[in-house]
């Protein structure tokens, strides 16, 4: 069994001295260090090394919980990985120690906060979409053929002087887009009794 430290600073001009001093004061001799590595990155070289180094019964120690990552989700993923390997975790500043009952309780609280964050994001997304629909906007990609282009395409096609390919070139859209519009337009007119179904493109 051994305590293994991990320290990280986000920019190259920051110093890990404070964190390393805290590790030394805690009697931790083996320390892995990431310099100028953001907590938002999926891969942090020294953290990857530390996670590969620790063995069952060891304890990974950090100065603060946020050294593992910027998001609750990311931190929980690392902690879950450690727990599955029977490796403990300790945060010196927060006093979090997963080898004891209070540490387990704290992990439960973190998991609850992570779920709350996800729920809030989902609710905000739903509210945003509802507000957009209320204002006549819908999600998804914008139409390539706006109303003006649709009218122009119909006029050019009905004149009989242009092919679909020529119309597509003039409007700056794909041939398939023009075909789709003309087909849907014909079907719509047929259903409304304006043209016979046999005339549908």
Residue 61, pLDDT above cutoff 90:
yes
**15-50 residue pLDDT tens:** 899 999 999 999 999 999 998 877 666 668 999 999
If one compares 5 and 177, the residue with the highest pLDDT of the two is 5
Burial code of 6-26, b = ≥16 C-beta within 10 A, e = fewer? bbbbbeeeeebeebbebbeee
Which of 10, 33, 71, 91 is catalytic? The answer is 10
Residue 76, pLDDT above cutoff 70:
yes
84 is catalytic: no
CATH of 3-113, one of 3.40.50.1390, 3.40.50.300, 3.40.50.620, 3.30.1330.40: 3.40.50.1390
Residue 60, pLDDT above cutoff 90:
yes
Confidence of residue 191 (pLDDT cuts 50, 70, 90): very low
pLDDT at 21 (0 to 100)? 95
- The token pair at 198 is 């046999």
**101-160 residue pLDDT tens:** 776 666 666 666 556 666 667 777 777 777 777 776 655 555 577 888 888 888 888 888
If one compares 39 and 70, the residue with the highest pLDDT of the two is 70
Confidence of residue 201 (pLDDT cuts 50, 70, 90): very low
- The token pair at 129 is 């979409």
Are 165 and 171 a contacting pair, CB within 8 Å?
A: no
Token pair 């087909």: residue: 183
If one compares 62 and 43, the residue with the highest pLDDT of the two is 62
If one compares 80 and 114, the residue with the highest pLDDT of the two is 80
Report the predicted TM-score, pTM, of the whole model to 2 decimal places. Answer: 0.54
Instruction: Give which of 114, 50, 120 is closest to 87, Cα–Cα.
Output: 50
């Amino acid at each position: 069994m051994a305590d293994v430290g991990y320290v990280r600073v986000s920019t190259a001009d920051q110093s890990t001295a404070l964190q390393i001093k805290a590790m030394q004061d805690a009697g931790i001799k083996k320390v892995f260090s990431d310099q100028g590595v953001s907590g938002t990155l999926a891969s942090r070289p020294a953290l990857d090394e530390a996670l590969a180094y620790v063995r069952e019964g060891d304890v990974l120690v950090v100065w603060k919980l946020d050294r593992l990552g910027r998001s609750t989700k990311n931190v929980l993923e690392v902690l879950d990985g450690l727990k599955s390997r029977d490796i403990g975790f300790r945060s010196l500043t927060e006093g979090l120690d997963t080898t004891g009952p209070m540490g387990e309780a704290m992990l439960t609280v973190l998991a609850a906060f992570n779920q709350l964050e996800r729920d809030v994001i989902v609710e905000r997304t739903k509210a945003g979409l509802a507000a957009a629909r209320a204002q006549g906007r819908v999600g998804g990609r914008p139409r390539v053929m706006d109303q003006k282009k649709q009218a122009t395409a119909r006029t050019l096609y009905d004149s009989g002087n242009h092919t679909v390919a020529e119309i597509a070139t003039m409007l700056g859209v794909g041939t398939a887009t023009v075909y789709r519009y003309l087909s849907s337009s014909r079907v719509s007119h047929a259903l409304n009794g304006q043209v016979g179904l046999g005339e549908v493109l």
